[in-house]
Amino acid sequence: MAKLSIKDLEEIRNKVKKTAMLREGISNAKITVHMGTCGIAAGARTIMNTVIKIVEESKRDDIIVTTSGCAGFCSKEPMATIELKGEAPVKYSDLTEDKIRRIFDEHVLKGKIVKDYALVIGSEREL
Amino acid sequence: MEYRTHLMVCTGTACVSCGAFDVKKTLEAEIKKQGLDKEVLVVGTGCQGFCAQGPIVVVQPDDIFYQLMQIEDIPFLVEEHFLKGRPVKKMMYTPPGEKTEIPTMSEIGFFNKQRLIALRNKGLIDAEKIDDYIGRDGYKAFIKALTEMTPDEIVQEIKDSGLRGRGGGGFPTGLKWEICKKQKGEKKYIICNADEGDPGAYMDRSIIESDPHAVIEGMLIGAMAIGANEGVVYLRTEYPLAITRLETAIEQAKEYGLLGEDIMEQGFEFNLRIKQGAGAFVCGEETALIASIEGKRGMPNKRPPFPAESGLWGLPTNINNVETWANIPWIISNGSERYAEIGTEKSKGTKVFSLVGKINNTGLVEVPMGITLKEIIFDIGGGVPDGKKFKAVQMGGPSGGCIPAELEDTIIDYDSVNATGAIMGSGGMVVMDETTCMVDVAKYFLNFTQEESCGKCTFCRVGTKRMLEILQRICDGNGEEGDIEKLEELAAQIKDSSLCGLGQTAPNPVLTTLKYFRHEYEAHIYDKKCPAKACKPLLTFGINDQCIGCTACARVCPPKAISGERKEKHVIDQDKCIKCGACLDTCKFKAIDVN
Ligand SMILES: Cc1cc2nc3c(=O)[nH]c(=O)nc-3n(C[C@H](O)[C@H](O)[C@H](O)COP(=O)(O)O)c2cc1C
Ligand code: SF4
C-alpha cells in the first residue's frame, strides 16, 4: 500500500462512512422486509435481494434495510414497510420485483407514497 | 454487495475468555449455511463493557443486544432473527429482579447513563481495521491539527478543555504539554503509560483492545504540539491481545503514511514503538517506567527533575496515560468548549471505571464527571447481588481508599473524591457488601503494595511490612491494645518518608478504613469478633436447639469435632474445630450459629 495523502484519507472515510452510519443506526429511510415463514414462502427472499440491489445502485448511504417477522397479513405477503425519517411507516403488500422498484423510486427517493400498493399507513396498533 | 446487518461480536479479553472467538466462528458458519453471508456481516469488536453478560453480540442497525451467548443457540438465532427477522427474546438481557427482557442496547440502564468519549468507538469498529476507525471520523482531528493549527493553538485547546491526567494524579494535561513544549532541545519524547497495575482495573487494556488508533491519533497530536518525533507505548506483557492489536494498528498507520517520515506530505515526522513491561506495579510510576525503557531496573528516581525537563535518555519527555491520550482527538475535533461543558467546575469530561466486586453488572463504564457514586453503583451497576447490603466502594486501587455507603451521594470529581480520603485513581472501583470485612480489605491492598514496593526506601519497604503484620495479627484474633495507634503512626511516617507515590499512598486503604470503620478494628481487637463474619479465626461455630440430631454435620466435619447421639442435639468441640464452615453448608435445619 502506498502512502496516502490527505485527499486519499478523505476518500477512504467517505467509502466506509456508510458502514459506520449503519452501525450507529443513523438513517433517513428504513426498509423492512417481512420474512416470516409465510413471507419467505411467498417470495420475500427475492424481494430482499432486489431491495439490497437497488439500495446499492442508488448510492444512497442513509438507507437501512432490515427484516422482521410475519406482519400478520399472511395472505398479502410478500410485504415490506417503508419508514422515512419523521414520518409514519407505510406497509406495502403483494409485492413483486417491479412493485418494489417503483416503491423505492417514488416513496423512498422522492417521498411520495405509492397509494396503489399501500396497505396501511401507520403501525397496526394505530389501525 | 452491501451488508444490511452487522453483528458486532465483542472480542475483548473478558468475552474471549468465555468463548467469543467460537461464537464468532459459529455465527459465520451458520450465516453462510443460511445463504446470508452476502447480507449479514460478522465483526469482531473490542470490549463492549458489559463483561458480566459475555459473550455479547449486538445487532446493528437494529441495536438488539444478545448476551450470554451459547454455541448451541446460534443456529436457532440465525434462522429466527437474521433469516426470518424475529429477534430472539430468550437471549436478551433481563435486569436482576425483573421479568421482562430488554431488547435494545440503548434501553439497558447499564448503557444509557454512560457518556462515551474515550470509548466512543467501543463495539462499533473492528479494532484491527484502520478503515473502520477512519470511517468514524478517525484521524480527522490529527489532520485538523496538522493543517490548521499551530502547536501553541493545540496546547491552548487542551488547556481550555480542562482535561486532567487519567492515570491517577489528575495533573492538567495542557499545562504538562506546555512545560515540555517550552523545553529547549532538538529531540523530545512522548510516552503512553499503559502499565495499568491496579488489581481489578482494566480500563486501559480495554481502550487499546477496542480502539488502538484513538491512542495513536492522540499521541500524534501531542507529538505535534510538543515537538516530539519519537513515541513509546509502555504496555504490560500480560496484555497479549492489546499488544497484538496495537502492533497491527501501528503497522497499518505506517502503511497509510500516518506514522513515519513526512506524514501526509506535510513534513512532520513521528515514529511509534511498543515497549513491553514485565508487569511490576511500580513501573507504572513515571520515573521507574522511564528507567525500565532505558533497560535499567524499574525503580523510581527523585523528582525534580521532572520528565518534562529530563526524561527518557535525559531528554524532555511528556508522559500521559492511555485514557488521557484517547480523549485528545475528541477534544480537537469537537472543541474544548464542548468538552468543558461536561463535568464539574474543576473536573471536566468523562472518566472510565471498571466496576468489579459485589456488583451485578461487572464491567467497564464511561461516565460524565459529576455523576454520583450511587448512580454508578445502582443505576449502571445494577446494585449488589443476592439482596445484600451495599457497604463501601474502594476507589483508586492500592493507593486509594474505601468510601462508605453513607457517602454514596459523593460526586465523581477529583476534589470530592479526595475529600473522602480515597482518590480518583486510574478508575478501579471495587464494590463491597455487608459480608466484606474492612480490616481484611485493608490487609489485601497493603499486602499488594508491600509486595510491589521496590525496596529503595526503608519506610516503604519495612514500614508496610510491619503494618501488614499488625493487620494479620488483628485478623487472626491476636490484636492488642495500641495496635490502631501503631498503625496510624507508621502510616504517617511511611507517607512522609517515601520517595514515590507507591509508598506515599500505600497507607491510604488502612487510613480510610480506620476513618470510616474504626469500630470494626475495635471489635476485632477488643471483642475478638469480626462483625462481617469474614475472619475465620475470630468465628465460633455452635449448634442451637433447631438441631434434630440428623448427624449430617458430624459426618462432614473434617477433624471430627462434632459429636452427639442420633436424634439428639449435637455439640462442637471448640478445641478441635478448625472453623472450615462445612457444618454450616451441610445443615438443612439452620442449627449452626456463627458468632
Ligand atoms: C506506584 C505508581 C503506579 C502508577 N501506575 C500507573 C499506571 O499503571 N498507569 C498510569 O497511567 N499511570 C500510573 N501512575 C502515574 C504515573 O506516574 C503518571 O503520573 C501518569 O502516567 C501521567 O499520565 P496522566 O497525566 O495522563 O495521568 C502510577 C504512579 C505511581 C506512583
Ligand atoms: S516509595 Fe516504595 S516503591 Fe517508591 S521508591 Fe520508595 S521503596 Fe520504591
The tens digit of pLDDT for each residue in A20-37 reads 888 888 888 999 998 888
Query: Cα separation of A69 and A82, whole Å?
Result: 15
CA of B204 to the centre of ligand 2 (A): 24
Name the band, by pLDDT with cuts 50, 70 and 90, for residue B1: low
pLDDT score recorded for residue B411: 96
Q: pLDDT by residue (tens digit) across B539-574?
A: 999 999 999 999 999 999 999 999 999 999 999 999
Check residue A123 and give its pLDDT: 56
Question: Across residues B313-324, what is the average pLDDT?
Answer: 98
- For an interface test with B, which of A66, A67, A74, A83 has the most B Cβ atoms less than 10 Å from its Cβ? A67
Contact B265 A5 (CB under 8 A): yes
Residues of chain A in contact with residue B83, where contact means CB-CB under 8 angstroms, are: 35, 40, 67
Query: Has residue A12 been placed in a domain?
Result: no
Residue with the larger pLDDT of the pair B515 and A28: B515
pLDDT band at A10 (very low <50, low <70, confident <90, very high): very high
**Distance in Å, CA B561 to ligand 2 centroid:** 47
Query: Does residue A3 sit within a domain?
Result: no
Say if CB B121 and CB B211 are below 8 A apart.
yes
Any ligand 2 atom below 6 A from CB of B499? yes
- The average pLDDT across B19-26 equals 95
Q: How confident is the model at residue A126 (pLDDT cuts 50, 70, 90)?
A: very low
Report strand pairing: B230-236 vs B268-277: parallel
**Ligand 2 atom closest to B504 (CA):** 1
Q: Is B316 in the pocket of ligand 2 (CB under 6 A)?
A: no
Helix axes B322-334, B203-210, angle to 10 degrees: 50
| Band of residue B368 on the pLDDT scale cut at 50, 70, 90 | very high
Residue from A14, A15, A19, A38 to probe the interface with B (highest B Cβ count within 10 Å): A19
pTM: 0.90
Q: Is B135 on the interface with A (CB under 8 A)?
A: yes
Residue B312 pLDDT level (bands cut at 50, 70, 90): very high
Nearest CA to ligand 1 atom 30: B285
The residue whose CA has the least distance to atom 1 of ligand 2 is B503
**B167 within ligand 1 shell (Cβ under 6 A):** yes
Alpha-carbon distances, residue A50 vs A10, A23, A45, A82 (angstroms): 31, 22, 9, 15
Same fold, B5-110 and B438-527: no
Is A94 among the domain residues? Answer: yes
The pLDDT score that the predictor gives to residue A88 is: 85
- Quick check: B42 and B123 in contact, CB under 8 A? no
Distance CA B541, CA B539 (A): 7
Yes or no, beta carbons of A19 and B132 under 8 Å apart: yes
Backbone angles phi, psi at B368, to 5 degrees: -70, 145
Residue B503 Cα to ligand 2 middle (Å)? 5
8 Å CB contact of A68 and B85: yes
How much is the average pLDDT of B133-158?
A: 96
Question: Collapsing DSSP states into helix, strand and coil, what is residue B447?
Answer: helix
Cell numbers for B144, please give them: 485538523
The answer to whether position A92 is within a domain reads: yes
**B297, exposed or middle or buried, with CB in 10 Å at 0-12, 13-18, 19+?**
exposed
In Å, how far is B352's CA from the nearest CA of chain A? 21
- Report percent pLDDT > 70 for chain B: 100
CA distance linking residue B234 with residue B347, whole number of Å: 26
DSSP-derived 3-state class of residue B17:
helix
Cell numbers 451495599 correspond to B390
**Ligand 1 site, residue B426, Cβ cutoff 6 A:** yes
Q: Residue A122: its pLDDT value, please?
A: 65
Q: Cα(B121)–Cα(B469) distance, rounded to whole angstroms?
A: 46
Residues from A in contact with B at Cβ < 8 Å:
1, 3-6, 9, 12-13, 15-20, 22-27, 32-37, 40, 48, 52-53, 55-56, 64-69
CB burial string B192-213: b at 16+ within 10 A, e below: bbbbbbbeebbbbbbbbbbbbb
Question: Nearest to residue B292, comparing CAs of B275, B272, B273?
Answer: B275
CATH number, domain with residue A48: 3.40.30.10
Q: Which CATH number fits domain B130-340: 3.40.50.11540, 3.40.1350.10, 3.40.50.10480, 3.40.50.880?
A: 3.40.50.11540
pLDDT for the residue numbered A82: 92
Ligand 1 center to A30 CA (angstroms): 47
Q: Give dist(CA B383, CA A49) in Å, integer.
A: 46
* pLDDT tens sequence across B89-132: 999 999 888 889 999 998 898 998 899 999 999 989 999 999 99
Atom of ligand 2 nearest to the CA of B453: 3
Q: How confident is the model at residue A125 (pLDDT cuts 50, 70, 90)?
A: very low
Q: Nearest CB to B2: which of A12, A37, A52?
A: A52
Q: How many CB pairs under 8 A join A and B?
A: 103
Other beta carbons within 10 angstroms of residue B178's beta carbon come to: 20
Q: Where are the domains of chain B?
A: 5-110, 130-340, 350-433, 438-527, 540-594
Say whether A67 sits in a helix, a strand or coil: strand
Q: How far is the CA of B167 from the centre of ligand 1 (A)?
A: 5
Mean pLDDT computed over A11-26: 85
Distances (CA, A) of B460 to A23, B421, B449, B525: 51, 20, 9, 25
Architecture of the B438-527 domain: Up-down Bundle (1.20)
A100 within domain boundaries: yes
For residue B63, which phi and psi values (nearest 5 degrees)?
70, 20
Is A19 within the bounds of a domain? Answer: no
Question: What are the tens digits of pLDDT across the range B161-216?
Answer: 999 999 988 999 999 999 999 999 889 999 999 999 888 899 999 999 999 999 99
Task: Give pLDDT, residue B419.
Answer: 95
Number of domains making up chain A: 1
- The answer to whether B289 and B193 are in contact (CB under 8 A) is yes
Query: Which among B430, B455, B577 is positioned nearest to B512, based on CA atoms?
Result: B430
Collapsing DSSP to helix, strand or coil, B367 comes out as strand
Residues 6 or more apart whose Cβ sits within 8 Å of residue B397 = B198, B199, B200, B201, B425, B426, B428, B445
- Quick one: average pLDDT of B511-536? 95
Average pLDDT score over residue span B492-508: 96
- Domain B5-110 has what CATH class? alpha beta
Query: Under an 8 A CB cutoff, do A3 and B257 touch?
Result: yes
C-alpha cell read off for A75: 395472505
For chain B, give the mean pLDDT: 94
Nearest to A51 by CA among A111, A92, A18: A92
User: Which residues from chain B sit within 8 angstroms of residue A12, using beta carbons?
Assistant: 131, 134-135
Phi-psi region of B49 (alpha: psi -120 to 50; beta: other; left: phi over 0): left
If you take atom 25 of ligand 1, which residue's CA is the nearest one? B165
Give me the residues paired with residue B93 across strands. Answer: B102
Q: What CA dihedral angle connects B66, B70, B74 and B77, to 10 degrees?
A: -40
Share of chain A residues as helix, strand and coil, in percent rounded to the nearest 5 = 45, 20, 35
Looking at residue A105, what is its pLDDT? 94
Phi, psi of B543 (to 5 degrees): -115, 130
The yes-or-no verdict on residue B467 having pLDDT over 90 is yes
Q: If you average pLDDT over residues B468-497, what whole number do you get?
A: 96
Pocket test for ligand 2, best of B195, B281, B282 (most atoms within 8 A of CB): B282
Q: Give the dihedral sign, CA B8/B12/B18/B20.
A: positive
Is-contact B355 B365, C-beta < 8 A?
A: yes
Domain spanning B350-433: CATH 3.30.1280.10:
no
State which residues form the domain around A101: 27-126
Cα(B366)–Cα(B352) distance, integer angstroms: 4
Ligand in closest contact with the CA of B499: 2
User: What does B554-570 look like in DSSP terms, one character per residue?
Assistant: HHH-TT--EE--TTS--
Return the DSSP state at A3.
P
pLDDT of residue B59 exceeding 70, the answer is: yes
Cα B584 to Cα A10, B148, B556, B588, B591, distances in angstroms: 67, 70, 10, 9, 8
| The dihedral formed by the CA atoms of B524, B529, B534 and B536, expressed in degrees to the nearest 10 | 100
Does residue A1 register a pLDDT over 60?
A: no
A14 within domain boundaries: no
ipTM of this complex prediction, to 2 decimal places: 0.81
Q: Residues B41-61: what's their mean pLDDT?
A: 92
CB-based contact B353:B427 (threshold 8 Å): yes
pLDDT above 60: residue B478: yes
In this predicted structure, what is the pLDDT of residue A27? 84
Q: Name the residue at shortest CA distance from atom 10 of ligand 1.
A: B167
* CATH architecture, range B540-594: 2-Layer Sandwich (3.30)
Task: Determine, yes or no, domain membership for A117.
Answer: yes
* Rg of chain B (C-alpha set): 27
